[in-house]
């Protein structure tokens, strides 16, 4: 007897025969500033916690020393929570291209999410942009999908390899409606060509 493997649904309106071609996420470099700030705060608070005996005015007053350690520990906890929430929002924020749709999932906060869908037939044009030396060095930028009619444009912000992603979307759009949508090579989560 054959084992039936359940079809994984990434979004509510995904049809049973709809296949995910690739998923793109924001480039990792976008999150470096918040991780660095969080890391510096964590290290500073940890050093402060473990050196209260060496700080003369804190070691002379036991209540002040204990409350300072409690404050620094709280700062460490909330900073770690902030770093975790930033990572979680990064992970839950993605753009997906299927053989029938573009899906843009914007995780706006821990409990706030916006999902937009666009049928391939509504795509008019796709363009990619990179601005500045950092985006050029790390190969990330924006992909703008212009839509037909009154629908608003789709924007994939700060994704890796935006020109590759734009080319793949246009290739998929060009083959839309054919039996099997095939692309010239897989695209990884960060948009890099495999």
* pLDDT tens digits, one per residue of 38-84: 888 888 888 877 776 656 655 566 666 677 778 888 888 888 888 88
pLDDT at 128: 96
Same domain, 120 and 170: yes
Q: What pLDDT was estimated at residue 174?
A: 86
The gap from C-alpha 57 to its chain's centroid, in whole angstroms, comes to 45
* Per-residue pLDDT, 29: 92
Q: Regarding beta strands 20-24 and 112-119, do their DSSP bridges make them parallel or antiparallel, or are they unpaired? A: unpaired
Is 105 within a domain?
Answer: yes
Q: Give the range of the structural domain holding residue 42, as residue numbers without chain letter.
A: 33-88
Position 15 scores a pLDDT of: 80
The rounded distance, in Å, linking the Cα atoms of 171 and 182 is: 9
Give the containing element (helix H, strand E) for 156: strand 154-160
pTM over 0.75: no
163 & 101 share domain: yes
Q: Report DSSP letters for 76-137, one per residue.
A: HHHHHHHHHHHHHHHHH-EEEEESSEEEEEEEEETTEEEEEEEEGGGEEEEEEE--HHHHHH
Number of domains comprising the chain? 2
Q: Which residue has the higher pLDDT, 35 or 62?
A: 35
Residue pair 96/172 in contact (Cβ under 8 Å)? The answer is no
pLDDT over threshold 70, residue 1? no
The percentage of the chain sitting over the pLDDT mark of 70, rounded to a whole number, equals 78
In a domain, 192, yes or no: no
80 and 99 in a single domain? The answer is no
| pLDDT digit string, tens, across residues 90-108 | 888 999 998 888 999 888 8
Residue with tokens 């916006």: 114
């Amino acid at each position: 007897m054959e084992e039936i493997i359940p079809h994984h649904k990434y979004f509510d309106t995904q049809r049973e025969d709809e296949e995910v071609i690739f998923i793109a996420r924001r480039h990792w470099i976008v999150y470096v500033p918040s991780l660095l700030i969080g890391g510096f705060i964590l290290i500073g608070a940890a050093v402060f916690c473990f050196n209260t005996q060496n700080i003369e005015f804190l070691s002379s007053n036991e209540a002040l020393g204990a409350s300072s350690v409690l404050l620094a520990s709280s700062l460490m906890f909330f900073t770690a929570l902030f770093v975790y929430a930033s990572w979680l929002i990064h992970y839950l924020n993605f753009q997906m291209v299927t053989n029938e749709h573009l899906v843009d999932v914007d995780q706006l906060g821990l409990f706030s999410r916006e999902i937009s869908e666009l049928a391939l037939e509504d795509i008019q044009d796709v363009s990619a942009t990179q601005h500045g030396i950092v985006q050029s060095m790390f190969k990330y930028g924006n992909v703008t999908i212009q839509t037909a009619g009154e629908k608003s444009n789709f924007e994939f912000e700060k994704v890796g390899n935006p020109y590759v992603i734009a080319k793949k979307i246009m290739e998929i759009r060009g083959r839309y409606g054919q039996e099997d949508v095939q692309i010239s090579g897989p695209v990884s989560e960060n948009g890099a060509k495999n």
